[in-house]
A and B are shown apart, each in its own frame.
Chain A
Amino acid sequence: MTSETLVEINDLNFSYDKRAILKGINITMPRGKVIAIMGGSGCGKTTLLRLIGGSIAPSSGYVKVAGQVVHELSRDELFQMRRKMSMLFQFGALFTDLSVFDNVAFQMREHTNLPEAVIRDLVLMKLHAVGLRGAHKLMPAELSGGMARRVALARSIALDPLLIMYDEPFTGLDPISLSVIGNLIRRLTDALGMTSVVVTHDVQESLKIVDYVYFISEGVIAAHGTPAEVRDSVAPFVHQFVHGEEDGPVPFHYPANSYASDLRLGNRFA
């Protein structure tokens, strides 16, 4: 592993109830890059994030973050490591009983002994970075979906992590909020020198901002490359995915008996 690699995923397998979700995944994530992991719904993308974050342990293989094998850490060591990483959940997962300000201040108050005056300045700076300094008194229920996502982003950079994982950051956003969030991910990654892993199925938006893309299909990496390579790819799966075609290697129909026999048409049309 080079010193430039932050996350190393090596021959990672994960099964749930004997059903293989991930099969032999190998990914290297260099520092300071935005990496997208794409794939259809239910292909194991979120599972991969949970494996990197240490919420679940792999069946075999390992995930190394900053040189440490995640699933071998004790709970205390894992919590130590999690101070260096953060995660943006699909719908923000803001604490609904705390104001915007307190949400961003949460980790600072839990993990540091900073005086309240310093926390105040830091929180306002983080909120300024996502353009919501003026909203610090609002409660999460008063925010729009896009604003909530931005507050969650401010909260996830609260302690200047090395790694941020985004779980479907573009879901359910209007086009303006979509590009705001996309640009923020890029800008914050560059400004703070962190590494971003974006799990998404929003192809067009993510191809604008990422450095490298991995496609996961049926638990294996189906393709990978830079955005330009992906756009020009002729591999059937990538082509279908990037251009949103209805049918292709990923079939439109769920596997079923023959249509005629399901409609009880006998042999007439079979």
Chain B
Amino acid sequence: MPRRIVLGIRGVGHRVIESVWRLGRASRFFMLMLLKSGISLRRFHLIIREIYFTGVLSLIIIVVSGLFVGMVLGLQGYETLQKYGSESAVGTLVALSLVRELGPVVAALLFASRAGSAITAEIGLMKATEQLAAMEMMAVDPIARVVAPRFWAGVISMPFLAAMFSAVGIFGGYLVTVVLIGVDEGSFWSQMQNAVDFRYDIVNGVIKTCVFGVAVTAIAVFEGYDAPPTAEGVSGATTRTVVTSSLAILGLDFVLTAFMFRGMS
């Protein structure tokens, strides 16, 4: 029995050390990537190419999900608000929920599973098929040439995707409440215009999306670069990207919300 306990404690210790070690490696990798970003920022076409793959190709899933989320928000909001006779405030509800929370968070979650996993799998497979080693041997640094462009493409794409998500979501809410149910169009838009503040709501939402963009793509590129060069290793890394970045998004969202909207009326 005592032997089991010792083994158990040792196992826990091993895991903790392993995680801290990995966190250290990730931080070092992140700093290295920032230091080596100069080349890809100077040769911007490298980033534009990746923006197409991570950003433009994610548009479909973002737009469709945004539309449905907005429509559901409109329906649910109308259901509740009409009990109090304030169904014309449904525009405010849809817009604030989307711009402050759902837009950044849901778009980032979708981005993590659509683009983040793809980035990890691609970099992991490039490693497994020795493409990164080949690049090293050609005196080209893979962190500067492969990793940094993908990172910056993700960081740049994320705010635009979230903005698109919120805009389409608001349109979805409009479709359901105004066009379908018949809420007054004038009060829908004017109440929304009065309630949504540019500095507090929109800018804070954009800040959130930028933070999520950095978190998701940094996790995705690190997991890909750090993946063991086997089929099993790459699949494990892809799963970890989605799980870790989803948790990071939700955790960071709470922290950011607490700082941004605390004590606001």
State the A residues within 8 Å of B (CB): 53, 55, 78-80, 82-83, 85-87, 89-91, 93-97, 106-107, 110-111
Contact among B126, B129, B137 with A82 in the assembled complex (CB-CB below 8 Å): B137
* Bound-complex Cα distance A110 to B137 (A): 13
Q: How far is the CB of B42 from chain A (nearest CB, A)?
A: 13
Tell me if B20 is interfacial: C-beta within 8 Å of chain A: no
Q: How far is the CB of B70 from chain A (nearest CB, A)?
A: 35
Is A91's CB under 8 angstroms from B130's CB? yes
State the B residues within 8 Å of A (CB): 122, 125-126, 129-131, 133-141, 145
Contacts of B145 in A (CB 8 A): 110
* Bound-complex Cα distance A247 to B125 (A): 38
Determine the residue in chain A with the shortest Cβ distance to B53.
A97
A91-B130, A93-B131 known; A55 and B140 CB under 8 Å? no
Contacts of A80 in B (CB 8 A): 139
Is B140's CB under 8 angstroms from A110's CB? yes
Contacts of A90 in B (CB 8 A): 130
Is A107's CB under 8 angstroms from B138's CB? yes
Is B139's CB under 8 angstroms from A79's CB? yes
Is A93's CB under 8 angstroms from B130's CB? yes
Contacts of B129 in A (CB 8 A): 91, 93, 96
Is B133's CB under 8 angstroms from A111's CB? no
Is B130's CB under 8 angstroms from A89's CB? yes
Determine the residue in chain A with the shortest Cβ distance to B132.
A93
Is A107's CB under 8 angstroms from B131's CB? no
Contacts of A96 in B (CB 8 A): 125-126, 129, 131
Is A87's CB under 8 angstroms from B137's CB? yes
Q: How far is the CB of B25 from chain A (nearest CB, A)?
A: 18
Contacts of A85 in B (CB 8 A): 137
Q: How far is the CB of A237 from chain B (nearest CB, A)?
A: 30
Contacts of A89 in B (CB 8 A): 130, 133-134
Smallest CB-CB A-B distances: 3 pairs: A93-B134, A82-B139, A93-B130
